[in-house]
């Protein structure tokens, strides 16, 4: 059974049974209570304009507090080939994006304007540091993190709720959101052809062993999917502290007919490269450990 299913069974149990009825350590009890309280707030606040009047009471009840990472602990890896209980739309047209970016809903139509679509995706966004730092750089662009681990996704959702509440009335952080999903399986269900202008792959899981290489997030087949959802001129950003993985990503991107590498100068001058180098949680860990960071960015070129 996958850890995520176990995780969701556990959390269902914790929602229905009283925590007094089961034996758990004090630490687990604290974590489950914390998660339960956050989950209730998330249900109310996840898909609403955070500055709506009726929510002010909720906001007063501690919603502006940033979530504590230690309460969202989950195994480091989630198997991208397992049958997670994931929800995904039949096609991008079946996705209700307005619920993710309520501040952008047009008053006239009650939905998002047709030209307001997600244009930047952070694949395997982890704890969401990149989303938060990209947000003010592209205030009019909808940015989405996709993350396979359920508790990590919950953490990012709670962080975005808290940030929006802290800045209520300003619209800040209203352009970012996160979705739980497996980018290796369902990307074209979420995004139309040529919809994205940027895709980030920051410190992806290295899957060191040869027999696990097929689980890497950059492969020939997946690159063709990324080329499909990226517009011509759009950019794939990659960064890793693992040289072998960096070489792997470069060689697959070099071989793919629909991508060309940015020049050294272009990479150096791209503000997104600066941001992704320093903003993600994994990148910060690498900095603390004085590790190296290897970067490679590729442009989507026209079909042959």
Ligand X SMILES: C[S@@+](CC[C@H](N)C(=O)[O-])C[C@H]1O[C@@H](n2cnc3c(N)ncnc32)[C@H](O)[C@@H]1O
Q: Say whether residue 78 binds ligand X (CB under 6 A).
A: yes
- 178 bridge partner residues: 145
Contact between 80 and ligand X by CB under 6 A: the answer reads yes
User: How far, in Å, are 134, 193, 235 from residue 197 at the CA level?
Assistant: 14, 11, 6
Rg (CA), the chain: 20
What is the Cβ-side half-sphere exposure of residue 5, based on CA atoms within 13 angstroms?
Answer: 8
Binding ligand X by CB under 6 A: which of 121, 205, 207, 242? 205
Of 204 and 234, which has the nearer Cβ to ligand X?
204
Give the shortest CB-285-to-ligand X separation in angstroms: 8
> Is 148 within any annotated ligand binding site?
yes
**Cβ–Cβ under 8 Å, residues 127 and 149:** no
From the list 24-32, 86-94, 134-142, 179-187, the region that binds ligand X by CB under 6 A is 179-187
Q: Phi/psi of residue 216, each to 5°?
A: -70, 150
Asked if 237 contacts 276 with a C-beta cutoff of 8 angstroms, the reply is yes
Catalytic hit among 103, 205, 244, 303: 205
207 binds ligand X (CB under 6 A): no
Give catalytic status of residue 303 as yes or no. Answer: no
One of 146, 156, 160, 258 touching ligand X (CB under 6 A): 146
Among 4, 97, 126, 246, contact with ligand X (rule: CB under 6 A): 126
**Burial of 145 from C-beta contacts in 10 A (0-12 / 13-18 / 19+):** buried
- Report how far apart, in Å, the C-alpha atoms of 60 and of each of 41, 85, 165, 213 are: 12, 34, 9, 48
Site string for ligand X, 53-72 (x = CB under 6 A): --------------------
Q: Are the beta carbons of 197 and 231 closer than 8 angstroms?
A: yes
Q: Kindly provide the residue ranges of all beta strands, DSSP E only, lying in 225-279, ordered along the sequence.
A: 230-240, 259-261
Residues 208-267 that bind ligand X (CB under 6 A): 217
Task: Tell me how far apart the alpha carbons of residues 180 and 80 are, in angstroms, rounded to a whole number.
Answer: 12
Instruction: Name which of 233 and 291 has its Cβ closer to ligand X.
Output: 291
Bind-site residues for S-adenosyl-L-methionine: 124, 147-148, 182-183, 202, 280-282
Active site (catalytic) residues: 205
Binding residues for ligand X, per CB under 6 A? 78, 80, 124-126, 146-149, 152, 182-184, 202-205, 217, 280-283
Bind-site residues: 124, 147-148, 182-183, 202, 280-282
């Amino acid at each position: 059974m996958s850890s995520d299913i176990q995780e969701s069974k556990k959390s269902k149990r914790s929602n229905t049974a009283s925590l007094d009825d089961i034996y758990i350590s004090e630490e687990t009890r604290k974590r489950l209570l914390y998660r339960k309280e956050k989950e209730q707030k998330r249900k109310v606040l996840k898909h609403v304009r955070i500055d709506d009047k009726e929510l002010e009471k909720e906001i007063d009840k501690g919603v502006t507090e940033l979530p504590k990472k230690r309460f969202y602990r989950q195994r480091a890896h989630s198997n991208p080939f397992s049958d997670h209980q994931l929800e995904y739309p039949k096609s991008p047209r079946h996705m209700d994006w307005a619920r993710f970016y309520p501040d952008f809903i047009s008053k006239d139509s009650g939905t998002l304007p047709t030209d307001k679509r997600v244009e930047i995706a952070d694949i395997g966004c982890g704890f969401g540091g990149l989303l938060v730092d990209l947000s003010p750089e592209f205030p009019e662009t909808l940015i989405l993190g996709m993350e396979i681990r359920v508790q990590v996704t919950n953490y990012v959702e709670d962080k975005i709720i808290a940030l929006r509440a802290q800045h209520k009335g300003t619209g800040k952080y209203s352009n970012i959101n996160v979705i739980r999903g497996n980018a290796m399986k369902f990307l074209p269900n979420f995004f139309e052809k040529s919809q994205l202008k940027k895709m980030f792959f920051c410190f992806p899981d290295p899957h060191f062993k040869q027999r696990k290489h097929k689980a890497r997030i950059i492969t020939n087949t997946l690159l063709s999917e990324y080329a499909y959802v990226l517009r011509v001129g759009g950019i794939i950003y990659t960064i890793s502290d693992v040289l072998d993985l960096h070489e792997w990503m470069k060689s697959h991107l070099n071989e793919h007919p629909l991508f060309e590498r940015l020049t050294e100068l272009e990479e150096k001058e791209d503000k997104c490269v600066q941001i992704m180098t320093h903003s993600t949680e994994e990148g910060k860990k690498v900095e603390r450990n004085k590790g190296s960071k290897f970067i490679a960015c590729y442009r989507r070129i026209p079909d042959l």
